Structure 1
Amino acid sequence: MLVSSVRAGLLATAATTFLATQAFAQDAFDLDTIIISGGLSPIDAAKYGRASSVVTAQDIKNRGITTVQDALRALPGVSVNGSSASMTGLRIRGGESNHTMVLIDGVLASGADEGYSLSGLDAANIERIEVLRGPQSAFYGASASTGVVNIITRKAEPGQTGRASLEVGAGTSASVFFGHRTEGGGISLALSSSDDRGYDASGDGGEKDGVRRDTAILSGDIMAGKDLKLGFSIRRSEEKFDYDETAWAATDAASYIIDDPSKYSERDEITANLFAEYSMMGGRLEHRFALETTRYDQSYDGWAPSKTRADVAKYRLSYGLDGPVDEADHLLNFLLEKEEKSSSTNPGYSPKATSVALEYRGSLANGLNVQLGARHIQNSTYEDTTTWNVGLSYFLPQSGVRLHASAGTGVVDPSYFELFASSYGYSGNPDLTPETNRSFDLGATFPIFADRGSIDVTYFNETLIDEITDIPTGGGTYGFINQSGKAKRQGVEVSGDLQATDLLALRMGYTYIDAENPDGSVETRRPRNELTLGATYETFGGRGSVSADLRHVSGNYDKQGWGAGAVEKLPAFTTLDVAARYDLNDRVTLTGRVTNVFDKETSDTWGYANRGRAIYVGLNANF
């Protein structure tokens, strides 16, 4: 199996790599590139009018981050929580987890119509993580209602590149990367394996619930002609994680979770894409055609897996109105997209969607940047939808302040379970309509301390209509309806960074959110306050660094799974993580990190405990 073979091979390869004496030194990452996937084609972040964040490979390196969920926790507007490390949901601006689209190299991470669980998704061999906040359906389609997370993996760089890592402690992980690039193209192979031995999610000292994941990524591209580029990427990931049962007759949090070593789940993920890019008219007209597929299988306790699949075909035409596409101040993008999904739970359920999208970008002489977009989706199973988006960015040259604002709509289609459920006491409702999110935000980015840093403050306001919810239908059974009324969410996002001295870099993020259901009750698992403070200090004579990250969470509500199912506030908590790195020589770096340094008891969900203190040491090598 991939799980055992990749893990064994990785551990052997990583250990051997550290003994290698011949190497090709490469600067692994280009930190000056600030281009994000914020539209139908990539866009300069300085001209982007919507709220966004980027986690770079250097951020991941400095902070000792090993999982995507940990990388996202420090970002404003983003809430990462769940019942355990193996069942972690992602919410942006108070939306549900299925209101955020998760992509890996631009391809849907899950073929299912539910939210993607980050679980053991590791940060090894990631170039950057882009987070786009607010409705993105005009550019990305249904499910991008409150935001998009695009995880971009590392690709080959000029010359020959190699990298390996090995870490042990509360868990064991290893990764290797090989890349080769010339003017004619490049190819890369990335392998990673992690065995997180876990912790007791019930918090009572019982058996540990671990997560094991193995991933292989093969990517390549070639210039088939002067103006024709062909490329591909294929990713395979297998995961197995433990989980605990819940007691239906529980009377409190302590008795709610039952330790059961026999409970486990297995996931098999495949994402792949094949693309061709052709440039003509001196670069003024560009065509891009892509085929993408996602296969996502998940089973529990050895039973037959549920198999979901998504297949997408895309054609994009880009035309520079006043010059080559990559230099034009005025750009038009046109997209035609066809998508089909399927699920083994009902072979007859195969929703199809055909989308047409348009985008205009304009950079005006007075410092104003405009981005307009619209998409119409024709659905085979539910109502057709039309979404739009407007983004504005205005730079004030004398003060250095950048103003930004956006408005738009997003949609989320009903899930298979909500439409056709006939199990666990639930009955589906085939008459459900898509949920619609309406949003606007206003913000400004201010330079501070003579441009040694910046701070961004953004106010957002979102309104969800036709929210889908379950309702009791008598006798312990449930159904689904589109709620009347509006679910309102508003808040403030703050992010900042400062190069305080030549050696000390500071960072911060803060989110305040007020999220209510249509009936005025508080939305669960949306902490009202999330604050992160971090610092990285270059030390050891320039051969290493020390980082510390503090996280505070308060005002988090959750529904209790016992008694009357009351919604109650969870205790606030503050945790501290530290990480350090030291260059043993030009090729090998010693790393160490401690999470939850003070071993605080924390919880995101009633009845479930978060991890206590954990210690790790490792080695990274470039060759």
Structure 2
Amino acid sequence: MLLNKFLAIGIPLLCFGAFAQEQKQDSIKPEALHEVFITATRTNRNLQSLPLPGAVIDSATIMRAGVNRLSELLAEQTGLVTVPDFGGGEGLQMQGLDSAYTLILIDGVPLVGRSAGTFDLSRITVGNIERIEIVKGASSSLYGSEALAGVINIITKKPEKEGVNGAVSYRYGAFETHDGNATLNFKRKKLYGTVFANHFATNGYDLVNTDDTKTVEAYNNTTLQPKVFYDFSGNVKLTTSVRLFNQKQDYNQTVEGIYYTGDAEIDEVNAQLRLDQKWSSGFRTEYELYTTNYQTHQYLENYNGQPYDEGNTFYNQWLLRPEFRGMLNLGRGLLTTGVGMNYETLNRSYFANRAIFNSQYVYTQYDYSPTDKLNVLAGARFDNHNRYSSQLSPKLAVRYDVSGNFSLKTSMGYGYKAPDFRQLYFDFNNAAVGYTVLGYNVAEENLDKLEAQGLLSSRLPLDFSTPLKAESSVNYNFGGSYKKGSFSAEGNLFYNTISNLIDTRIVADKTNGQNVFSYYNVNKVNTYGLEANATYKLAGDFRVTAGYQYLIAKDPGVIDRIKAGEEYAVNGSSGSVLLKTSDYFGLPNRSRHSANLKLYYTLQPWKTDFSLRVVYRSKYGLASTNGNDYIDKYDNFVAGYFIVNLSAIQHIGKNFLVQAGANNLLDFTNEAQISNISGRQWYAKVQYNF
């Protein structure tokens, strides 16, 4: 099995590399450029030299966008689609894969706390972000689980100038939204650091006026992030960083005609200690200790003070991760090796006991340029886990410079996503409706109890003795880039095949007419398509960028059943019709086409920056509406739409700037089907730098 992974990934790339020839390349040399990229390779690389599909969003672009939260910023990027979760937050879809498959990092370390697999990007403020590095494609060879679709690394700012300096800003916008930032930087000889604080508050918004609750209830949150650096010598540096996050939100629900009110609170702590040591010009090491804790508490009660669902639900997740990394320069190559462990616990409502995961891992990567024209990146990671089978994740990427203006690159990698705590240990009974959801590891024991209590009318003969398998994917990318003068363009073809997809299925019928659900490896999914980006600069002050993604995301099992003449759909008054393969649209919440167009203009005499950004998403289906479990042409679709964002920044002297604009300028809303687009958001901002 492991040999097959290496052969499937390695042979095509080695054949590609065998035909490569010579030309100059900066593959492994550290660059002092603003587009230094460390996420993809854990080494300093110029973005233009990477053999992998990636992108960088710099601080100037973030400022011009005029947004508050990470979700708003990523929604404007090619191939990234933000989708709502159940609580008003937003997750990220990449290359057609759900948000559960994208790993979110901050300064290179992972963030935890997901709702049904979705990491809420609105938890992250953009006020202190230096750049965002995006890697598309399976990245488990370096990062392990959850990096099946790709990685997003949020790099926060650090001091650059001697002495004390900083900035304060305030932004007011629609829906009574307030956003305040304060940054204090200090740098003196060997000691330097920064303290960043953000407070965000909004009254929420309501897209449906026919009920008692809002689409997103009012909430406020505070982020505090101090970072301190100390250079013991030119060869040893210590970094300490802490991030504190607290959010409070109104929590209101109507259940079976009864109105409940309450509140929800999130507390998050991230702490990192890292020591960098340079032993010689060709060898350095990094020692890192990281821990994070994510907690939520929710409370609901009716007008009589009677609690719903026993009054209080909670979620408490811890992760502890020590890691050691070493980098050895071998002439035309750089060898990176790391070893570490994860100790993770989760205690939450609907778990009988605290769940514990622990794993150990080792990875290695060789970044090699045999000629000036060719760069080869090869690596693998082995994860040993106490709750699922061990995983080997190889990856191989090649870049070849055809000419000084044109380059080709291709990569293949294996990614995986481990079963999460919910899928293994959930024990939930919906008292209002009557259904039950059981995690795979506790399903058999709890089914036996329900059967002994006479609560089951039938039970499927399923075997829960073998461990639930990790979802796995093989990812292929092939693309190229061209740059000449003021014009640059890049394109990438991608293909992902996911095996052992974890889904819910009925495992028993209850005597009340409801079902018992559990999780099982039941499916396979393919996503493939094309991404393209182009940028053109006019007269130095005007820049146009455009991006486009074409995406197909389908279940090959459905295609096989359609070909066998086994699948039907309801077509209005015509009744059931036999489906053709061309009738099958694909997986829910996937658009065939998405695009963006961005115009940036600087009026130099007035020191004014303008930006106009347009985002398009074509139609998609949310759920089957005609009698089967997938999206076909006879289903109801969410219509395609445009979002237009406009911003202007006026610089006043050296220290002041004011900004005004509108996101969703055309006031697009779809109250029935799209909960994460609130309508037009006017805003104004003032900032003072000192």
TM category (shorter chain) comes to 0.7 to 0.9
In the alignment, which of 152, 155, 162 is matched to residue 152 of structure 1? 155
Residues in 1 aligned to 2:625 and 2:160: alpha-carbon distance in whole angstroms = 50
Q: Is the 8 A contact 1:391 1:405 kept in 2?
A: yes
Residues in 2 aligned to 1:608 and 1:244: alpha-carbon distance in whole angstroms = 16
Determine whether 1:276 maps to 2:343.
no
Q: What are the residue-to-residue correspondences of 1:362-381 with 2, within 5 Å?
A: 362-381=368-387
In the alignment, which of 309, 324, 337 is matched to residue 315 of structure 1? 324
Cα distance, 1:606 vs. partner?
A: 3.0
In the alignment, which of 477, 481, 490 is matched to residue 445 of structure 1? 481
Residue 224 of structure 1: SS of its match in structure 2? strand
Determine whether 1:536 maps to 2:574.
no
Residues in 2 aligned to 1:563 and 1:489: alpha-carbon distance in whole angstroms = 24
Cα distance, 1:608 vs. partner?
A: 3.2
Cα distance, 1:210 vs. partner?
A: 2.8
| TM-score of the pair, normalised by structure 1 | 0.87
Q: What are the residue-to-residue correspondences of 1:12-411 with 2, within 5 Å?
A: 32-83=34-85, 86-111=88-113, 114-159=117-162, 160-170=164-174, 171-202=177-208, 207=214, 209-242=217-250, 245=253, 262=261, 264-280=263-279, 282-301=280-299, 303-322=312-331, 329-345=332-348, 346=351, 347-398=353-404, 400-411=405-416
Runs (4 or more) in structure 1 with deviation over 6 Å come to: 246-249, 560-566
Cα distance, 1:609 vs. partner?
A: 6.2
Q: Is the 8 A contact 2:89 2:676 kept in 1?
A: no
Determine whether 1:554 maps to 2:618.
yes
Structure 1 residues 565 and 482: CA distance shift in structure 2, 3 A: closer
Q: Is the 8 A contact 1:74 1:509 kept in 2?
A: no
Determine whether 1:595 maps to 2:593.
no
Partner residue, 1:15: none
Residue 71 of structure 1: SS of its match in structure 2? helix
Partner residue, 1:20: none
Residues in 1 aligned to 2:156 and 2:210: alpha-carbon distance in whole angstroms = 38
Structure 1 residues 405 and 609: CA distance shift in structure 2, 3 A: closer
Partner residue, 1:575: 643
Aligned length: 573
Cα distance, 1:418 vs. partner?
A: 1.0
Structure 1 residues 607 and 32: CA distance shift in structure 2, 3 A: closer
- 2:327 maps to a residue whose letter is S
CA RMSD for the aligned pairs? 2.5
Structure 1 residues 242 and 563: CA distance shift in structure 2, 3 A: farther
Question: Could you list the per-position Cα deviations for residues 40-79 of structure 1 after superposition, in whole angstroms to 9, with x for gaps in the alignment?
Answer: 4343323311111111110011121221111111222211
Q: Is the 8 A contact 2:35 2:47 kept in 1?
A: no
Relative contact order, higher structure (CA 8 A, sep 6+): 1
Cα distance, 1:240 vs. partner?
A: 2.5
Residues in 2 aligned to 1:536 and 1:378: alpha-carbon distance in whole angstroms = 48
Residue 414 of structure 1: SS of its match in structure 2? coil
Cα distance, 1:510 vs. partner?
A: 1.5
- 2:534 maps to a residue whose letter is G
- 1:287 maps to a residue whose letter is T
Unaligned runs of 5+ in 2: 1-31, 301-311, 430-435, 442-466, 559-583
- 2:319 maps to a residue whose letter is A
Cα distance, 1:348 vs. partner?
A: 4.1
Residues in 2 aligned to 1:84 and 1:573: alpha-carbon distance in whole angstroms = 22
Q: What fraction of aligned residue pairs are identical, expressed as a percent? A: 21
- 1:161 maps to a residue whose letter is N
Q: Is the 8 A contact 2:33 2:46 kept in 1?
A: no
Structure 1 residues 276 and 92: CA distance shift in structure 2, 3 A: same
- 1:428 maps to a residue whose letter is G
- 1:335 maps to a residue whose letter is G
Unaligned runs of 5+ in 1: 1-29, 250-257, 323-328
- 2:521 maps to a residue whose letter is N
Q: Is the 8 A contact 2:35 2:56 kept in 1?
A: no
In the alignment, which of 538, 544, 548 is matched to residue 500 of structure 1? 538
Question: Could you list the per-position Cα deviations for residues 531-570 of structure 1 after superposition, in whole angstroms to 9, with x for gaps in the alignment?
Answer: 1111111126241111111111113221279999885421
Q: Is the 8 A contact 1:86 1:243 kept in 2?
A: no
In the alignment, which of 496, 500, 515 is matched to residue 462 of structure 1? 496
- 1:305 maps to a residue whose letter is F
Question: Could you list the per-position Cα deviations for residues 285-309 of structure 1 after superposition, in whole angstroms to 9, with x for gaps in the alignment?
Answer: 1111100111111122362521001
Residues in 2 aligned to 1:78 and 1:396: alpha-carbon distance in whole angstroms = 29
Q: Is the 8 A contact 1:143 1:412 kept in 2?
A: yes
Residues in 1 aligned to 2:253 and 2:267: alpha-carbon distance in whole angstroms = 22
Determine whether 1:617 maps to 2:688.
no
Q: Is the 8 A contact 1:209 1:243 kept in 2?
A: yes
Residues in 2 aligned to 1:92 and 1:121: alpha-carbon distance in whole angstroms = 18
Partner residue, 2:440: 429
Higher alpha-carbon Rg: 2
Q: Is the 8 A contact 2:221 2:246 kept in 1?
A: yes
- 1:229 maps to a residue whose letter is K
Residues in 2 aligned to 1:408 and 1:71: alpha-carbon distance in whole angstroms = 27
- 2:477 maps to a residue whose letter is D
Q: Is the 8 A contact 2:587 2:630 kept in 1?
A: no
Structure 1 residues 388 and 235: CA distance shift in structure 2, 3 A: same
